[in-house]
């Protein structure tokens, strides 16, 4: 299997590790997914990179692949019939001109149907962050459409794989109300995988231990540190500004701030009836993850996190997305 190369700031780095996740893709390719697979996890944990590698894998395995990433304005149709591919790309071009790329997410149903009308085939739909493009309130309906495409096709197919990724912390609650998808979490890289990525970055850099304790294995935060010349203070400041954390903290009550201080040491302290609304606020702005799945490997994409690692901010039931996210909250709380 060919490993794709991905941009890492000014570098091009080969897709690294995630061997178990890629074996899962191979298993899905052999039998189809049955239901759409909705993947969620911390921002920057590598969901988009994984989907790109999965796309390349499925192409190698003889799948016709529709790849959608509306936020990055990237759309691909790897399909034998040139006229179907051209029609898809023309549709994308028109939607882009009208600033309506969300339409492409809905139109993919028609293009898959048109391809299957020509011949029976293996087909995959890979969708990255489409919910932001179509509106979060329509996420569940979209997933239902994907399920209908699998269960009730107009034309028969050989096998079908449908993978959807989202960084929207609360999206999965709406989708999870229905039995329309397999909802699987993906976590940051484990220590061994993270070291493989770390070693591919040239030049002077902090020790592996320091990089690990700052990022918790999150490849995007490693890239941010590299981009900011390994300045952790600047990286934390960036999180504070992008997420408007001052406004967030100042809007909390005195009691909520006290709860948040406790959660810096153990995020599971937010997992009580009266504190859950605060945890959900943190999830909504992608600072934390709630309802951490049991660490049963089959319930996760790739390798699950440890049962608990308070040094990295990982609890049994809730977790900070990365130690740097936790530090951003700590920094603002110290000034209140």
Q: Domains of the chain: which residue ranges?
A: 5-185, 202-333
List Cβ<8 Å contacts ≥24 apart for 193-197.
193/16, 193/17, 193/18, 193/217, 193/303, 194/219, 194/222, 196/16, 196/17, 197/13, 197/16, 197/17, 197/222
List, in sequence order, every residue forming a beta bridge with 69; answer none if it has no partner.
74
- Mean pLDDT over all residues of the chain? 95
User: What is the mean pLDDT of the segment spanning 57-65?
Assistant: 98
More confident residue, 1 or 103: 103
Query: Is the torsion defined by CA of 260, 261, 262, 264 positive or negative?
Result: positive
Question: Looking at the predicted structure, is the pLDDT value of residue 1 above 90?
Answer: no
Beta strands in 110-167 (DSSP E): 122-128, 159-166
pLDDT of residue 167: 75
Rounded to a whole number of angstroms, the CA Rg of the chain reads 21
pLDDT above 90 (res 97): yes
Residue 179: which pLDDT band, with cuts at 50, 70 and 90? Answer: confident
- Whether residue 244 is predicted with pLDDT greater than 70 in this model: the reply is yes
Taking residues 153-180, what's their average pLDDT? 85
pLDDT score of 166? 87
* Residue 75 pLDDT: 97
Confidence (pLDDT) at 168:
62
Q: Which residues partner with 75 through β-bridges?
A: 68
The average pLDDT across 141-145 equals 95
How many percent of the chain have pLDDT more than 70? 99
Per-residue CA distances from 146 to 37, 227, 232 (Å)? 10, 38, 41
Residue 170 pLDDT exceeds 60: no
Under CATH, to which class is 5-185 assigned?
A: alpha beta
pLDDT for residue 163 is more than 70: yes
pLDDT band at 53 (very low <50, low <70, confident <90, very high): very high
The rounded percent of the chain whose pLDDT value lies above 90 is 92
Count Cβ neighbours within 10 Å for each residue of 98-120 and write b for 16 or more, e otherwise.
eeebbbbbebbbebbebbbeeee
State the pLDDT confidence band at 136, using cuts at 50, 70 and 90. confident
């Amino acid at each position: 299997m060919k490993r794709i190369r991905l941009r890492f700031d000014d570098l091009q780095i080969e897709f690294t590790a995630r061997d178990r996740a890629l074996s899962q893709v191979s298993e899905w390719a052999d039998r189809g997914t049955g239901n759409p697979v909705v993947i969620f996890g911390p921002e920057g944990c590598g969901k988009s990179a994984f989907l790109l590698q999965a796309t390349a894998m499925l192409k190698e395995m003889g799948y016709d692949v529709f790849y959608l990433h509306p936020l990055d304005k990237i759309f691909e149709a790897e399909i034998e019939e040139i006229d179907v591919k051209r029609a898809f790309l023309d549709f994308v071009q028109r939607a882009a001109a009208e600033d309506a790329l969300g339409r492409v997410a809905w139109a993919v149903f028609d293009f898959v149907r048109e391809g299957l009308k020509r011949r029976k085939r293996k087909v995959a739909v890979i969708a990255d962050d489409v919910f932001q493009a179509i509106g979060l309130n329509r996420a569940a309906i979209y997933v239902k459409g994907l399920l209908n495409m699998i269960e009730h096709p107009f034309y028969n197919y050989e096998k079908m794989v449908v993978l959807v990724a989202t960084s929207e912390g609360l999206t999965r609650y709406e989708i999870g109300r229905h039995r329309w998808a397999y909802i699987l979490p993906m976590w940051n890289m484990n220590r061994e995988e993270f070291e493989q990525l770390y070693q591919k970055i040239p030049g002077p850099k902090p020790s592996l231990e320091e990089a690990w304790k700052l990022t918790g294995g999150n490849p995007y935060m490693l890239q941010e540190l590299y981009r900011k010349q390994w300045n952790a203070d600047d990286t934390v400041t960036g999180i504070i500004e992008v997420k408007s954390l001052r406004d967030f903290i100042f809007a909390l009550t005195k009691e909520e701030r006290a709860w948040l201080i406790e959660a810096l040491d153990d995020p599971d302290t937010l997992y009580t009836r009266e504190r859950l609304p605060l945890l959900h606020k943190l999830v909504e702005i992608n600072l934390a993850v709630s309802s951490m799945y049991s660490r049963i490997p089959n319930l996760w994409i790739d390798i699950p996190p440890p049962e608990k690692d308070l040094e990295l901010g990982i609890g049994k039931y809730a977790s900070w997305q990365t130690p740097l996210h936790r530090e951003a909250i700590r920094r603002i709380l110290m000034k209140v």
